[in-house]
Chain A
Amino acid sequence: MNTIKLNLKKLLLFISLLIVSCGGIPEESTTSSSEKKAFSVADVLIMVAHENDITRTLYTKAIVGGGKKQGFKFDEEWQDEKVEAGPLPALFLRGIANDIRKGDVPLGLYLSSDFPISASNQLVGKQADLFKEIKENRKPQHFFDEDSKLYTAMFADVAGAPACVSCHNNHPKTTKTDWKLGDVMGATTWQYPADSLSYTEAMSVLKAYRDGTTAVYNDYLEEIKNFKETKKPEVGEKWPSSGNYLPAPEVFIDSVRKLSAYVTMSSLMK
């Protein structure tokens, strides 16, 4: 009698061959991962922190400081519909940090202080301990955060413009009223998940920061468009120091580039 024999081994072999014949999914290999890791994470964070210093100082001095003399307003609630104002420098930085998080570059940026206006920005734990050293020697602190498995660096955030001091000293919710120009008012904390970066990755970090700056600055200009009671500044080539003007985003970013170029290029050409 003819019988059809189905053998389990043959069946499994057939299924295996069928699956293998499809071919697997290629291993992901990005261009950057095959590139030489030319920079330590510390080098890159120092570079981008410098860019941040330049951006913050320029914004605080030229836009906030200069703008206030022209009657521009800056407020914590700048995005509220009822409030016709621009972002305060700390919120400008937070806006940049938010924008970076929207992209694919895994860079974290935070601003904290030992005497913050908002309690949520209070330094605690290891960050508070390291900040004491930063206050003394103003040198960055680099460490690996075991909990988040992220390479972390803290940098002094110095009162670089009179507006920093006057606004913080006179703020209704201030926790310290005797800030002076040049004081270390807080620290920026940066985090990145790798100990070394390729040239492409280092450039992506820098680009993410600059794109964040442009995005927040554009948000500010969008807010201005909706001003109803406040006189709108003219946006273009000129700065508030010349009158009722605000630089266009590309003008502002160009100035940041010029001011940061030497240090940034030196870092990249190492």
Chain B
Amino acid sequence: MFEINPLRKRQFYGILIGFVIAIIAISSLLFIKPAEEYLSIGPMNTGHEGFSCNTCHQDAKGTWMQQIQSNSEHALGLRKKMVEFGSLPVTTKKCLSCHDRDNDRHPTHRFLEPKHKKAIQKIDATNCATCHSEHNGIRVSLAQGNYCMNCHSDTKIKDDPIDTPHSELFKKGMWSTCLQCHDFHGNHQAEAALFMKDTIPLSKIKAYFKGGDDPYEGVKKFKALSEQEWIKKYTKK
């Protein structure tokens, strides 16, 4: 393929060894915790700051060479299933290992029911990442707060307590007003306002989406596990 002049032999091997050492050194440094922010594709979302990569990105089975071999075998029809390469995909189940709670008003699994088929074609509420796409340095990654319209356009409120009836808000397409009283996961103890003027301004909701202060009053019913609590819960003693 190519030839090396014997006079350049030492130089060639010197460069080769130096190159290998450099690759190993850089790779080792990149995978230590202080270097993780350089590997990350973007800043962690609100509340996830300081997480280790491994909190979400669990290593796939085997070494990368074994993974290459297994997937090559699969490509040649020598094994039934492919294996994950590098790390396992981050699934909703992974998110729920810290965020799952019984009092969630919109738990992801409920949207797996056949009747929600049309709704999840518009917004995949079975997947946390649909609204909370990671590595964006914010809390909610949806641009608009009008997603309630995907399921609640037919909702009827009996003895509607607010001064501007819900039916009127729906009719006018004022879907961003929903969040001015109701947080999607129902994680706050607060009572909904009875007058539109008392509802939370949309600007505060949007700021909250971007990682700002919690605009909903009242006690939080549930707090997600911290990384340490998660480790304690899931690491076998």
Contacts and interface: CB of A to CB of B under 8 A. Distances in A.
Interface in A100-152: 101-102, 108, 110, 112, 119-120, 122-128, 145, 147-148, 150, 152
Contact of B114 (A28, A173, A189): A189
A110 B189 contact: no
A24 B117 CA distance: 39
B185 interface: no
Given A8-B1, A119-B156, A123-B115, A102 B100 contact: yes
How many chain A residues sit at the interface, stated as a range, is 35 or more
Contacts of B103: 79
A7 interface: yes
Given A1-B6, A5-B1, A127-B115, A25 B100 contact: no
B84 to A, nearest CB: 9
| Interface-central residue, B73, B79, B112, B118, by most chain A CB under 10 Å | B112
Interface string B85-114: 000000000001000101110010110111
B221 to A, nearest CB: 7
Given A25-B62, A98-B102, A219-B102, A110 B69 contact: no
Contact of A22 (B65, B81, B102, B115): B65
Nearest to B2: A6
Nearest to A2: B6
Contacts of A22: 63, 65-66, 69
Contacts of B112: 108, 148, 150, 191
Contacts, number: 112
A98 B6 CA distance: 71
B114 A148 contact: yes
B69 A3 contact: no
Interface string B49-77: 00000000000011101111110110000
Interface residues of B, number: 47
Given A18-B65, A24-B79, 16 more contacts: A1-B5, A3-B3, A4-B4, A6-B4, A8-B1, A19-B65, A22-B65, A27-B79, A27-B81, A28-B81, A80-B189, A80-B221, A102-B96, A108-B112, A112-B115, A128-B115
Interface of B: 1-6, 9, 12, 61-63, 65-70, 72-73, 79-81, 83, 96, 100, 102-104, 107, 109-110, 112-115, 117-118, 151-152, 154-156, 158-159, 189, 219, 221
26 contacts: A3-B5, A4-B4, A5-B3, A7-B1, A19-B65, A23-B66, A24-B69, A24-B70, A24-B73, A24-B83, A25-B66, A27-B79, A27-B80, A28-B81, A79-B102, A95-B102, A99-B102, A102-B96, A112-B115, A125-B117, A127-B115, A172-B158, A189-B114, A191-B113, A216-B102, A219-B102
